[in-house]
Structure 1
């Protein structure tokens, strides 16, 4: 698996990383050993980029990552990106200040068992935060103090990513991007390349829709966000099925099926599509299935998609998805 340079951070990371939201919370019941085994499988498959957050299981995801890296003495070999801000209650722009961010950073350092965080990302803060220079001054101070090696932002909207890049200290943008969320490929990707900002792609498989294994009869556990957040009841609906209404998403998946070569799964086709955009640094599908983690990694070495396949994916987006998502995020 090839590596790509993560903006100006100095890190080179594998094209496919591992997202670890699901080993913390909101994806049904996952015990600690299952979570740690997912991390081990990822490392064994060659992944050297892990993404987590302090609120994934109230630190559970961070602690499981720290345990595995410690048992393998792999802290120097793996880049870990975490996030901060969603512990605020209420979750309001004023809370994104130096005092709170330092407190969150110190907790994450303890959870992971490190002196300094490789990469800290603001965790989908309110849009107003991107218009608060003092928040980014605080991040600069945390980096200068040695608590953080680099920082970036995890955004919901293209507008937020574009605004964040105006701050010179922002080295990475994390966002939702997949065949059902194509808007970032326009201006945002262009600006990221121009400014040498790394792009981390989350929700690449649209919460499982783009694996092709979910149908109209699929039921999700009560504590799975695909059950309780379909209308955005708990957090931004764009994090659940990429914001596409469930039935419309299934129709779009059916339209994509004929485009997938026999040599690829739909998940691999999707990941290969994402990696064809050179602004993308790494994509972070999450899974606790060793088989799924290994096949996700294998997607990086599959042949690129053709121009005709790209055009047809765009046509499916235009026909089934665009009206639901394009101007919203």
Structure 2
């Protein structure tokens, strides 16, 4: 079974691009530290973050919390490449110069000597891997600053191009009970054995939740989910309700959705966000139940056969 990890996107706090939020709203460092320490106590050892979550805030908070348990043998995965210019406008930079700068900055914020995993953060799906040189990453490995590298992909289609190019050894990809495209496009790829797969968005951005089986969500204006296009929001809600049968299993639909991701043999780590200690306890309890029964896995495929056509390349 896959390992349960800890996602820290929520710790970035309010974040905006062109007046639209790109984060999960207000966050509290003391609450975040309690959740991280609770996770360590529960045996969670994999932590996922990024330098762009709150422009370094999530890394800083994670580093501060982990420093309270220095003997814990943890794996930290972070990401780089999303920057802001002098006008605070976003742009992407995966150059060797910025790579070195970003790694050193992440090491400082995380209070670590080595990054266990470094990922390019959401490069374009059409990124030119054929001419992108992995040598700077290999030098960082040799220098002991990183142990492994790869890509946190924007979509499964971009991830497939990474695999075709043979870049790195780690892929962080969207995979959940509603969006299972990774099964056909990535997990069965001839190069799959060369990669560790990290399942991100395992709860479909929080839509796989008991509350939304009967109620429409209301998201705060400082959350990115407030601005989801209507057709995406409607599809997610309708699809979640097609999986209402999962709510009858122990822990409800969220626990079942997490167990779905943990069930696939190609998935190494699943990284749900855990803003508070109660989230940690709920996710740990779900993981302890083990993989979903085969009949439940089949029922999911029957209830939600595929993603919307507009989520796929034209």
Structure 1 Cα separation of the partners of residues 9 and 207 of structure 2: 17
Q: Could you tell me which residue of structure 2 aligns to residue 199 of structure 1?
A: 197
SS of residue in 1 equivalent to 2:171: strand
SS of residue in 2 equivalent to 1:245: helix
More strand by share: 2
Note the residue ranges of structure 2 that are not aligned, 5 or more in a row: 14-22
Offset, 1:304: 3.1
Offset, 1:160: 2.0
User: In the TM superposition, what are the counterparts of 1:53-64 in structure 2 within 5 Å?
Assistant: 53-64=50-61
User: In the TM superposition, what are the counterparts of 1:80-95 in structure 2 within 5 Å?
Assistant: 80-87=76-83, 89=85, 95=93
Q: Could you tell me which residue of structure 1 aligns to residue 44 of structure 2?
A: 47
Q: In the alignment, is residue 27 of structure 1 matched against residue 16 of structure 2?
A: no
* TM-score between the two structures when normalised by the length of structure 2: 0.87
Is the Cα–Cα contact under 8 Å of residues 24 and 223 in structure 2 kept in the other structure? yes
User: In the TM superposition, what are the counterparts of 1:187-226 in structure 2 within 5 Å?
Assistant: 187-191=185-189, 194-214=192-212, 216-226=215-225
Structure 2 Cα separation of the partners of residues 260 and 202 of structure 1: 21
Structure 1 Cα separation of the partners of residues 216 and 158 of structure 2: 36
User: In the TM superposition, what are the counterparts of 1:128-147 in structure 2 within 5 Å?
Assistant: 128-147=126-145
Structure 1 Cα separation of the partners of residues 237 and 253 of structure 2: 13
SS of residue in 2 equivalent to 1:50: strand
SS of residue in 2 equivalent to 1:218: coil
Q: Could you tell me which residue of structure 1 aligns to residue 19 of structure 2?
A: none
Once the two structures are superposed, residues 221-273 of structure 1 have per-residue CA deviations (whole angstroms, 9 ceiling, x without a partner) of: 22111113x14xxxxxxxxxxx9711221122222112433423111101111
* TM-score between the two structures when normalised by the length of structure 1: 0.83
Is the Cα–Cα contact under 8 Å of residues 156 and 174 in structure 2 kept in the other structure? no
Q: 1:205 to 1:192 in 2, by over 3 A?
A: farther
Offset, 1:274: 1.2
Offset, 1:159: 2.8
